[in-house]
Amino acid sequence: MNVHDSERLAGLLEAAGYRRAPEGTDADVVVFNTCAVRENADNKLYGNLSHLAPRKAANPDMQIAVGGCLAQKDRESVLERAPWVDVVFGTHNIGSLPVLLERARHNKAAQVEIVEALQQFPSTLPAARESAYSAWVSISVGCNNTCTFCIVPSLRGKEVDRRPGDVLAEVQSLVDQGVLEVTLLGQNVNAYGVSFADPDQPRDRGAFARLLRACGRIEGLERVRFTSPHPAEFTDDVIEAMAETPNVCPTLHMPLQSGSDRILRAMRRSYRAERFLGILERVRATIPHAAITTDLIVGFPGETEEDFQATLDVVARARFASAFTFQYSKRPGTPAAEFADQVPKEVVTERYQRLLELQERISLEENRAQIGREVEVLVATGEGRKDAATARMSGRARDGRLVHFRPGELEIRPGDVITTTVTGAAPHHLIADGPVLTHRRTRAGDAHAVGQRPRTGVGLGMPGIGAPRQESTGCGR
Ligand code: SF4
């Protein structure tokens, strides 16, 4: 979500006349889009700001802005800790950035603007997309859940859903510009439909499944992904829509967090381990070969060895293709940070290692089972760190697995689509060292080759939140 917000910040600044500073040059404006979910976000931010302090001292016209979740959380204290910052803005008003920069320049004084509720659905803002072939599309922002480890609800607010027509218009606009793959984004995508921004739009529990099916009718859209669904709200109509919509990819990222029902309760996550496993069973019965991935937290306050064993058991039964595993650490401002029974760091680290070993073994076994299979790969850039040294290119299979393949003499571009056969496996990637079986040059590949990137949010006529605003927003609507 932050990555996509950064695309919007870039789009906003470009629409206001700014140009991206060439690599290796000193920029006139530096914007930090911060995240508060990961540990040490504030150390990183203030460390980076300190690095910039001498440059700012040497060139007072240079401007530094801090936005995102950490800014929403720290507010004025950003300026107390780094008084050389020019602009602080929050998660609900990213559209204000150009105006705040202008005002700070004009008034020669720092500007702090944090608001408590979403002013405008972020997708109405211009976005300068990073990829010619793959795009994020927000379907909702915020979250109505209250997981005790999570800072998101207090920083991103209650869930607000975008009208399906607006989502589909954005997807269509991206496809018209050559994009082949979209990832529908929301904190809790299968709650989509519970709180439409448009008051005329009725509450609709089946909205997400219908949205997937509607994406299936967009000609030229080859791959639809979504992240993340919440197990408590996962309904069979979504599984059916996934199975029956050919361009919806056979992949599911569904956070488990813990395999212990006691810990799930303490996390305030309302599903239980058996329900989670039941969903996986139904997904696999309907979509054979679906690659299922997850998030796991080790060492949540109060976690006993028995609770941790329950997580290992569920992980062993679930056979995830891969997992993002995290060691629990306190997030100030969340209920769990105040829980008394915090697990000692060395216990957390030791459990984390055991979980990692189990999941790595499963990932390797699941990837080895792919050897000999033919895969369709959407060729990407930046996915293979060793590509230059190994004369390979990289991309994602339809199920989301990373594939490193040999293009041979073929002139293949990021954004093109190839098929090849898997010849080797590691826990985090597949190798395809045989010949490329088919190669399709795509419009996305053409666009990538000439450095053209899709733009959205300008001229789509998408409404903001609440009553129509009288004044111009300056965003080209
Ligand atoms: S569902 Fe996700 S975003 Fe919402 S509170 Fe829980 S962890 Fe945070």
Task: Please enumerate, by residue number, every residue annotated as part of a binding site.
Answer: 143, 147, 150
Task: Please enumerate, by residue number, every residue annotated as part of a binding site for [4Fe-4S] cluster.
Answer: 143, 147, 150
Distance from Cα 333 to the centre of ligand 1, integer Å = 14
Q: Kindly state if the Cβ of 152 falls inside 6 Å of ligand 1.
A: yes
Name the fold adopted by 122-368. Answer: pyruvate-formate lyase- activating enzyme (3.80.30)
352-402 tens-digit pLDDT: 999 999 999 999 999 999 999 999 999 999 999 999 999 999 999 999 999
For residue 353, the cross-strand partners are none
Rounded distance, CA 441 to CA 408, Å? 16
Rounded distance, CA 403 to CA 389, Å? 16
Domain with CATH 3.40.50.12160 in the chain: 2-113
CATH code that applies to domain 2-113: 3.40.50.12160
pLDDT band at 232 (very low <50, low <70, confident <90, very high): very high
Domain with CATH 3.80.30.20 in the chain: 122-368
Percentage of residues in the chain with pLDDT exceeding 90?
Answer: 82
pLDDT band at 2 (very low <50, low <70, confident <90, very high): confident
The CA-based angle 90-208-180, given to 5 degrees, is 80
pLDDT at 454: 94
Rounded distance, CA 419 to CA 333, Å? 48
- Determine the residue of 138, 150, 324 to mutate for testing ligand 1's pocket, defined as the one with the most ligand atoms within 8 A of the Cβ atom: 150
CATH code that applies to domain 374-450: 2.40.50.140
Contact yes or no for 268/148 (Cβ under 8 A): yes
Average pLDDT of every residue of the chain: 92
- Which residue owns the Cα nearest ligand 1 atom 6? 147
CA distances from 38 to 68, 149, 327 (A): 13, 11, 11
* 73-77, 111-115, 121-125, 405-409: the lowest-pLDDT one: 121-125
Distance from Cα 95 to the centre of ligand 1, integer Å = 24
Distance from Cα 271 to the centre of ligand 1, integer Å = 13
pLDDT band at 86 (very low <50, low <70, confident <90, very high): very high
CA distances from 289 to 225, 324, 379, 399 (A): 16, 20, 21, 8
Q: How many CB atoms lie within 10 A of CB 260?
A: 24
Q: Is the peptide bond before 228 cis (omega within 30 degrees of 0)?
A: yes
Going by C-alpha positions, the residue among 449, 473, 477 that lies closest to residue 178 is 449
Rg (C-alpha) for the chain, rounded Å, is 23
Rounded distance, CA 153 to CA 151, Å? 6
Percentage of residues in the chain with pLDDT exceeding 70?
Answer: 95
266-297 tens-digit pLDDT: 999 999 999 999 999 999 999 999 999 999 99
Q: Kindly state if the Cβ of 401 falls inside 6 Å of ligand 1.
A: no
Distance from Cα 449 to the centre of ligand 1, integer Å = 38
- Determine the residue of 91, 141, 147, 185 to mutate for testing ligand 1's pocket, defined as the one with the most ligand atoms within 8 A of the Cβ atom: 147
Rounded distance, CA 70 to CA 32, Å? 10
- Which residue owns the Cα nearest ligand 1 atom 8? 150
Domain with CATH 2.40.50.140 in the chain: 374-450
- Which residue owns the Cα nearest ligand 1 atom 1? 145
Rounded distance, CA 250 to CA 292, Å? 9
Q: Kindly state if the Cβ of 145 falls inside 6 Å of ligand 1.
A: yes
Q: Kindly state if the Cβ of 335 falls inside 6 Å of ligand 1.
A: no
Single-letter residue type at 178:
G
pLDDT at 458: 62
Point out the ligand 1 atom lying closest to the alpha carbon of residue 151: 8
Contact yes or no for 126/475 (Cβ under 8 A): yes
